[in-house]
Amino acid sequence: MTAPDVLLQTARRGELHHTLILHGSDSRLLRATSLAIARALTCLEGTTGDGCPSCSKIDRGIHPDVTVLEVGEQRKLISVEQIRSVISEAALRPYEARRRVFIIDPADAVSAGGLNALLKTLEEPSASSMFLLLTRSPDRLLPTIRSRAQLIAIRPQVTPPGEVAAREQIPLQLARLRQSAGDLEPGEAEVLAREIVAQLASFAARRDYSALLSVAARCASLDSPVDAVSILAAILRDLAALDPEETIAPSEARTIREGLGARRLLETAEEVLKGGNRLLVNVDLRLAIEQALLTLRAR
Ligand SMILES: [Zn+2]
**CA 64/CA 57 separation, integer angstroms:** 9
**CA 172/CA 249 separation, integer angstroms:** 11
Considering only CA atoms, which of 7, 64, 65, 1 is closest in space to residue 32?
7
Cα-to-centroid distance, 11 and ligand 1 (Å): 13
Considering only CA atoms, which of 176, 177, 199, 172 is closest in space to residue 190?
177
8 Å CB contact between 21 and 149: yes
Cα-to-centroid distance, 56 and ligand 1 (Å): 7
Q: pLDDT value at position 63?
A: 95
Cα-to-centroid distance, 215 and ligand 1 (Å): 56
**CA 294/CA 264 separation, integer angstroms:** 10
Highest average pLDDT, of 125-129, 167-171, 256-260, comes from 256-260
Dump the DSSP string for the chain: --HHHHHHHHHHTT-S-SEEEEE-S-HHHHHHHHHHHHHHHH-TTSSSS-SSHHHHHHHHT--TTEEEEEPPTT-SSB-HHHHHHHHHHHTSPPSSSSSEEEEEETGGGB-HHHHHHHHHHHHS--TTEEEEEEES-GGGS-HHHHTTSEEEE--PPPPPHHHHHHHHT--HHHHHHHHT-TTS-HHHHHHHHHHHHHHHHHHHHH--HHHHHHHHHHHHTSS-HHHHHHHHHHHHHHHHHS-GGGSSSHHHHHHHHHHH-HHHHHHHHHHHHHHHHGGGGT--HHHHHHHHHGGGS--
Cα-to-centroid distance, 285 and ligand 1 (Å): 56
Cα-to-centroid distance, 3 and ligand 1 (Å): 20
| pTM of the predicted structure, to 2 decimals | 0.59
Cα-to-centroid distance, 40 and ligand 1 (Å): 7
Sign of the CA dihedral with 81 first, then 86, 90, and 95 last: positive
Q: Mean pLDDT score of the chain, rounded to an integer?
A: 89
Query: What value does the mean pLDDT take over residues 274-292?
Result: 78
**CA 260/CA 268 separation, integer angstroms:** 11
> Residue 97: pLDDT above 80?
yes
**CA 231/CA 222 separation, integer angstroms:** 11
> Residue 187: pLDDT above 90?
no
Query: What value does the mean pLDDT take over residues 74-90?
Result: 87
Cα-to-centroid distance, 44 and ligand 1 (Å): 5
- Model confidence at 177, pLDDT cuts 50, 70, 90, reads confident
What whole-number percentage of the chain has pLDDT above 70? 96
Cα-to-centroid distance, 43 and ligand 1 (Å): 4
pLDDT tens digit string along 120-157?
Answer: 888 888 888 999 999 999 999 999 999 999 999 998 87
List the Cα angle 86/88/91 in 5-degree steps.
110
Strand partners, 103: 68, 132
Sign of the CA dihedral with 264 first, then 269, 273, and 276 last: positive
Which residues lie near ion ligand 1 (Cβ < 5 Å)? Answer: 43, 45, 50, 52, 55
**Higher per-residue pLDDT: 253 or 113:** 253
Dihedral-angle region of residue 61 (phi above 0 means left; psi in -120 to 50 means alpha; beta otherwise): left
- Model confidence at 12, pLDDT cuts 50, 70, 90, reads confident
8 Å CB contact between 108 and 145: no
> Residue 163: pLDDT above 70?
yes
- C-alpha Rg value of the chain to the nearest Å: 26
Query: What value does the mean pLDDT take over residues 153-170?
Result: 86
Cα-to-centroid distance, 52 and ligand 1 (Å): 4
